């Protein structure tokens, strides 16, 4: 009888333990590289790609308290190497993971240099209520104050928390959560580099819980219809710009142009004439700005002012940074949209 009771007790414990393990959600970590996957090479005395997703996970055993983690090592490259083909592959990997019922969310580890671009790309191309959490690190894995482990642990907590549902792609670094549309890198080295300007953070990760105060509303979904993205170039406006770079971009095959204009979307006469040249060749031109906060508008009436470029047929890029305006234009072009009437609504959202 005692043996039977002991057997029942042991069996009960195993069943309860198994049930507890099964109750933990699954989170997939998609590792792409970046500083978070680098260590100091002794010969070069500089950070180089060195660790896998599994290596990073091994540094943070606490993540097992929150979820079962699957690792998918997509690449191990500096984020400076990210490009449309890699973005297309990443979208497919995220969609595949999130389509599985047991997966509560996806984490993408990534370099910080183009992290905001990849976040915005995924926010537009992936249609899911489940969280997509992007992380990076400002300090490499050889540093005594390596920030990658904390960012990974926070990302797992976000990806398994119901409060993160239906928020789109988010960036989680330095205990802060930022929306993909607005977040940008603001400092080359500081761990509190990623900020969202006037819009502020979505929320924060505290020791006891994840707090998210709002849901991003200015979101849209543009599905991929091809693996080949059209070429879209960014051309900067600055004092004395002559417009030749813009003309060359058109003549060398660019299918769209984003002008990083000044102020509310202004430029000088040579650049304005180059914009007119592009439009005459049926190459769409989006006007953005190098100013960090605010939006471009059809406001100033001098030749090259926002009002004149708008009247000439250029698209006003709203409050999107040049790099994010490029991504949106690229995705719209791959859908076959090309005219101002077809493109402008997506930038007005």
Residues 251 and 292 in one domain: yes
Indicate whether 207 belongs to any domain.
yes
Residue whose tokens read 């540093």 = 143
Catalytic site residue 35?
yes
Binding residue per annotation — 208? no
Separation in Å, CA 133 to CA 29, 79, 169, 171, 177: 10, 16, 6, 6, 9
Q: Are residues 281 and 204 in the same domain?
A: no
Regarding whether 166 and 303 lie in a shared domain, the answer is no
- Is 18 domain-assigned? no
DSSP 166: T
CATH code (residue 273) = 3.40.50.40
Find the CATH number of the domain harbouring 102: 3.40.50.1170
* Residue among 35, 91, 184, 289 flagged as catalytic: 35
Judgement on whether residues 244 and 179 belong to the same structural domain of the protein? no
**Which has the closest alpha carbon to 67: 29, 36, 30?**
29
318/27 Cα distance (integer angstroms): 35
Q: Is 79 among the annotated ligand-binding positions?
A: yes
3-state helix, strand, coil in the chain (%, to 5): 40, 20, 40
- Per-residue pLDDT of the chain in tens (349 residues, 90 and over written 9): 444 444 343 433 333 333 344 589 999 999 999 999 999 999 999 999 999 999 999 999 999 999 999 999 999 999 999 999 999 999 999 999 999 999 999 999 999 999 999 999 999 999 999 999 999 999 999 999 999 999 999 999 999 999 999 999 999 999 999 999 999 999 999 999 999 999 999 999 999 999 999 999 999 999 999 999 999 999 999 999 999 999 999 999 999 999 999 999 999 999 999 999 999 999 999 999 999 999 999 999 999 999 999 999 999 999 999 999 999 999 999 999 999 999 999 999 9
Is 112 annotated to bind a ligand? Reply is yes
Catalytic residue among 112, 125, 289, 309: 112
- Structural domain containing residue 77: 26-212
């Amino acid at each position: 009888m005692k043996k039977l009771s002991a057997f029942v007790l042991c069996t009960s414990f195993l069943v309860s333990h198994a049930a507890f393990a099964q109750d933990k959600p699954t989170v997939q970590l998609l590792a792409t590289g970046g500083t978070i996957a680098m260590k100091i090479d002794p010969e070069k005395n500089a950070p180089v790609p060195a660790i896998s997703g599994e290596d990073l996970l091994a540094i943070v055993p606490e993540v097992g308290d929150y979820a079962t983690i699957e690792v998918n090592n997509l690449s191990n490259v500096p984020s400076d190497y990210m490009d449309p083909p890699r973005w297309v592959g990443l979208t497919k990997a995220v969609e595949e993971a999130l389509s599985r019922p047991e997966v509560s969310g996806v984490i993408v580890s990534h370099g910080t240099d183009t992290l905001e671009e990849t976040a915005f790309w995924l926010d537009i191309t992936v249609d899911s209520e489940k969280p997509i959490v992007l992380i990076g690190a400002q300090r490499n894995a050889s540093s005594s104050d390596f920030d990658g482990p904390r960012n990974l642990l926070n990302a797992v907590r976000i990806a398994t928390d119901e409060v993160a549902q239906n928020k789109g792609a988010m960036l989680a670094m330095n205990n802060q959560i930022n929306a993909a549309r607005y977040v940008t890198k603001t400092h080359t080295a500081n761990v509190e580099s990623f900020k969202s300007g006037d819009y502020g953070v979505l929320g924060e990760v505290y020791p006891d819980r994840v707090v998210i105060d709002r849901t991003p509303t200015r979101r849209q979904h543009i599905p991929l219809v091809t693996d080949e993205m059209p070429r879209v170039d960014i051309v900067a406006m600055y004092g004395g710009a002559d417009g030749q770079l813009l003309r060359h971009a058109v003549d060398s095959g660019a299918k769209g142009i984003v002008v990083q204009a000044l102020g509310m979307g202004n430029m000088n006469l040579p650049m304005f004439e180059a914009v007119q040249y592009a439009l005459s060749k049926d190459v769409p031109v989006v006007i953005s700005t190098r100013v960090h906060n605010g939006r471009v508008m059809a406001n100033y009436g001098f030749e090259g002012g926002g009002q004149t470029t708008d009247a000439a047929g250029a698209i006003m890029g709203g409050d999107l940074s040049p790099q994010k305006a490029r991504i949106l234009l690229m995705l719209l072009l791959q859908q076959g949209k090309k005219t101002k009437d077809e493109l402008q609504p997506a930038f007005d959202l």
